[in-house]
Amino acid sequence: MCGIIGCVGHGTETTDVLLDGLSTLDYRGYDSAGVALSNGTVDVVKRSGAIEDLVSAVEASPPTGPVGIGHTRWSTHGPPTDENAHPHVDCPGEVAVVHNGIIENYEALRERLRAAGHTFESDTDTEVIPHLIESERDDGADPETAVRRAVERLEGSFAVAAVLADSDAIFAARRDSPLVLGIDDGGDRRRYYLASDVPAFREYTDRVVYLDDGEFARLTPEDWTVTTLAGDRVEKPVDTVEWDPEETGKAGYDHFMAKEINEQPRALRQCLSERVDELDGEVSIGDLAYLNPRGVQLVAAGTSYHAALYGAQLFRAAGVPATAYLAHEYATGTPPIGDELVIGVTQSGETADTLSALREASARGARTLAVTNVVGSTAARECDDAFYIKAGPEIGVAATKTFASQLAALNTLTIGMVPSKDDREAIAALRDLPADVQQVLDESNAAAVAEQYLDSEAYFFIGRGLQYPVALEGALKMKEITYKHAEGFAAGELKHGPLALVTSETPVFAIVTGDGERAQKTIGNVKEVEARDAPVVAVTDGASDVSRYADHVLSIPESSPQTAAVLANVQLQLAAYHTAAKLGRPIDKPRNLAKSVTVE
């Protein structure tokens, strides 16, 4: 969601570093942005709208100072206006704060502060924080103590960063919302960074420190420290980010989404590397192979939930009872745990709903496993085990290559935990998967199909078995980036209600792979919609005769049932992308959406 950037040690270049960081973070989704610099005073410039609007405002009235923080806001409390944009300041304008998350007790705090004479300028929950710091300063607290005491009074989720007029430090704290430090102290000049995500400062350093919940950081031009909120020193490891900053560029593509769709063969190779050994017919997942779960529960949200549905089917087919839960429903319900393994599927490792579900499972005594893309993420650190999908950085808001890598990772997990004599075929298909995806990318006619149906009233997607989660994902991609109505269904459900929506203006994308019972039954569903004059787009490997009943065919190579789902999904990604491109949509930044959803 919102993005935070901070830096110290850059002198006159601080503003440029902050603006570059904010531009890099804009993939997270935002509707306003701002910066604050400290140099005996606090200079704040902020604007609603695009970062380009902020840049113009900064050029008109440049803020100065060697210490600064910046923010991209995704509105929760109050509309996107200049007043509601971050950073927020106290009454005399000597404290500036940026914040991700939600302060649950902000109304009570605001009323107490108003009663004490404080004046508020915005609708946000964040604005109480600089006023709390001001109040502590009025009572004689030094800058660091004032920030600590203010943070201790907050309830809810937050990543907070603050600068003060009479301090050369950035103070920051986190609870349930990510913060990472960037460390650049190898030369004569020390420079330190703070951000909600590594790409914000990756071009300057690859050395990072991930903050945990309840930790407090202090960055100055000379040093960095991490403590608990109570002030006890915490020794933190400095990790190295392995990916190159150029990986977050568009590499000549019009959109990040197009680049990331085309990166899927490489992402899959990375995911499967050193895990799949076709020669020996084995999958290697390290110590996770010995978990031997009696049952599996998967928790996730959004695209990752569709991967979880797919994973649950894999485990059930292997003889292990498994259920996928929407994470935000799991944490407030009472599903049985027993000795089951709880797997959290989360691209960022910071999804608030999924983290809550994993914490609830852990509190009930379950073993937890994070399937995530981000090394050092909160899910990876808090779970008992982590299994990385290794897809590389994904910038586009609509997930593409990470979904494919999640499906591949869940295949390797299932085979590794529940080995079977039938695994050799699946392992061979996994080996061929990157090349098969490349074939789809090279030969797809999705752009021409998209052109045919730009004016459609709605789009429907149907599939059975492992193709059902792909149908859901195809519909999600279509609605996310085209703003067109789209729905995914289990194919057999059409006749139980959704068929009433089918008309000649509603193309139906039917995923039909293989020629078994499920394929034949899905063909029966295709005939149902064909009889109602609905155009049919078949996504198929050609094993069945579904093409006889289709207006258009999106072909995929023959593969195993497990990997056919990945291949079908690539065609649906391309269909959604080309539809959105032809409609002129802002593909990488869909309205109202954010890349990393860190509030519940």
Same domain flag for 204 and 132: yes
Same domain flag for 269 and 354: yes
Mean pLDDT over residues 459-465, rounded?
A: 95
Parallel, antiparallel or unpaired: strands 191-195 and 180-184: antiparallel
Domain end point (choices 440, 460, 488): 440
Higher model confidence: residue 501 or residue 480? 480
Domain end point (choices 440, 473, 497): 440
Judge contact between 234 and 38, C-beta under 8 A.
Answer: no
Residue 399 pLDDT greater than 60, yes or no: yes
> Can you tell me the distance from the alpha carbon of 200 to that of 161, in angstroms, rounded to the nearest whole number?
15
The pLDDT assigned to 420 comes to 84
Same domain flag for 403 and 497: no
The pLDDT assigned to 384 comes to 95
The pLDDT assigned to 247 comes to 65
- Residue 515 CB burial class (10 angstroms; 0-12, 13-18, ≥19): middle
For the beta sheet containing 458-463, the strands, ordered from the edge strand earlier in sequence to the opposite edge, are 485-490, 458-463, 508-512, 536-540, 552-555
In terms of residue numbers, what domain contains 470?
A: 444-600
The number of residues in the chain equals 600
Higher model confidence: residue 288 or residue 177? 288
Mean pLDDT over residues 250-267, rounded?
A: 90
Same domain flag for 412 and 283: yes
Residue 492 counted as domain residue: yes
Using CA atoms, how far residue 160 sits from 144, 155, 173, in Å, is 13, 13, 5
Same domain flag for 347 and 275: yes
Other CB atoms within a 10 A radius of the CB of residue 586 amount to 12
Judge contact between 36 and 87, C-beta under 8 A.
Answer: yes
Judge contact between 526 and 539, C-beta under 8 A.
Answer: no
Q: Which residues contact 312 (CB under 8 A, 6 or more apart)?
A: 296, 298, 322, 323, 324
Residue 246 counted as domain residue: no
Mapped onto helix, strand or coil, the DSSP state of residue 156 is strand
Which position has the token pair 């902000």?
106
Using CA atoms, how far residue 55 sits from 11, 25, 63, 583, in Å, is 19, 15, 11, 29
Residue 509 counted as domain residue: yes
What are the tens digits of pLDDT across the range 225-242?
999 988 999 999 998 887
Mean pLDDT over residues 522-537, rounded?
A: 89
Domain end point (choices 391, 410, 440): 440
pLDDT band per the 50, 70, 90 thresholds, residue 75? low
The pLDDT assigned to 596 comes to 55
The pLDDT assigned to 217 comes to 96
pLDDT band per the 50, 70, 90 thresholds, residue 21? confident
The pLDDT assigned to 281 comes to 72
| Range with the poorest average pLDDT among 156-170, 478-492, 582-596 | 582-596
Which of 130, 373, 351, 361 lies closest to 242 in space, CA to CA? 373
What are the tens digits of pLDDT across the range 43-71?
999 888 878 888 898 888 888 888 999 99
Amino acid (one-letter) located at 291: L
pLDDT band per the 50, 70, 90 thresholds, residue 87? very high
Same domain flag for 368 and 413: yes
Residue 598 pLDDT greater than 60, yes or no: no
Same domain flag for 331 and 344: yes
Judge contact between 110 and 130, C-beta under 8 A.
Answer: no
Which conformational region is residue 53 in: left (phi greater than 0), alpha (psi within -120 to 50 degrees), or beta?
Answer: alpha
Mean pLDDT over residues 320-341, rounded?
A: 83
Judge contact between 270 and 392, C-beta under 8 A.
Answer: yes
CA 520 to chain centre: 36
Task: Tell me which residues are annotated as active site.
Answer: 2, 595
> Can you tell me the distance from the alpha carbon of 566 to that of 583, in angstroms, rounded to the nearest whole number?
26
The pLDDT assigned to 597 comes to 56
Residue 450 pLDDT greater than 80, yes or no: yes
Does residue 87 have a cis bond before it (omega within 30 degrees)? Answer: yes
Amino acid (one-letter) located at 530: E
Residue 167 counted as domain residue: yes
Element (H, E) at 441: helix 423-443
The pLDDT assigned to 244 comes to 67
Judge contact between 369 and 357, C-beta under 8 A.
Answer: no
Element (H, E) at 329: helix 327-330
Using CA atoms, how far residue 380 sits from 3, 336, 368, 400, 449, in Å, is 21, 23, 10, 21, 40
Mean pLDDT over residues 432-443, rounded?
A: 96
Q: In the 8-state DSSP scheme, what is residue 233?
A: B
- Residue 428 CB burial class (10 angstroms; 0-12, 13-18, ≥19): middle
CATH number at residue 138: 3.60.20.10
Same domain flag for 340 and 397: yes
Mean pLDDT over residues 540-554, rounded?
A: 93
What are the tens digits of pLDDT across the range 579-593?
999 999 999 888 877
Residue 346 counted as domain residue: yes
pLDDT band per the 50, 70, 90 thresholds, residue 595? low
% pLDDT > 90, the chain: 62
Mean pLDDT over residues 195-212, rounded?
A: 89
The pLDDT assigned to 245 comes to 64
Which of 143, 156, 43 lies closest to 99 in space, CA to CA? 156
Judge contact between 367 and 341, C-beta under 8 A.
Answer: yes
The pLDDT assigned to 375 comes to 86
The pLDDT assigned to 76 comes to 67
> Can you tell me the distance from the alpha carbon of 26 to that of 45, in angstroms, rounded to the nearest whole number?
17
The pLDDT assigned to 173 comes to 95
> Can you tell me the distance from the alpha carbon of 386 to that of 258, in angstroms, rounded to the nearest whole number?
29
The β-bridge partners of 326 are: 300
Residue 247 counted as domain residue: no
How many domains are there within the chain? Answer: 3
Same domain flag for 436 and 448: no
Using CA atoms, how far residue 366 sits from 59, 297, 305, 355, in Å, is 54, 10, 20, 14
Q: Which residues contact 110 (CB under 8 A, 6 or more apart)?
A: 120, 127, 128
Judge contact between 226 and 216, C-beta under 8 A.
Answer: yes
Average pLDDT, the chain: 90
CATH number at residue 299: 3.40.50.10490
Same domain flag for 355 and 449: no
Judge contact between 564 and 544, C-beta under 8 A.
Answer: no
User: Token pair for residue 405?
Assistant: 């890598």
> Can you tell me the distance from the alpha carbon of 131 to that of 109, in angstroms, rounded to the nearest whole number?
10
State in Å, rounded, how far the first CA of the chain is from the last one: 11
Residue 471 counted as domain residue: yes
Residue 360: phi and psi, rounded to 5, are: -65, -45
> Can you tell me the distance from the alpha carbon of 17 to that of 68, in angstroms, rounded to the nearest whole number?
9
Judge contact between 459 and 485, C-beta under 8 A.
Answer: yes
Higher model confidence: residue 600 or residue 29? 29
| Range with the poorest average pLDDT among 417-421, 564-568, 590-594 | 590-594
Residue 354 counted as domain residue: yes
pTM over 0.95: no
% pLDDT > 70, the chain: 95
Same domain flag for 458 and 543: yes
Same domain flag for 175 and 36: yes
Judge contact between 480 and 589, C-beta under 8 A.
Answer: no
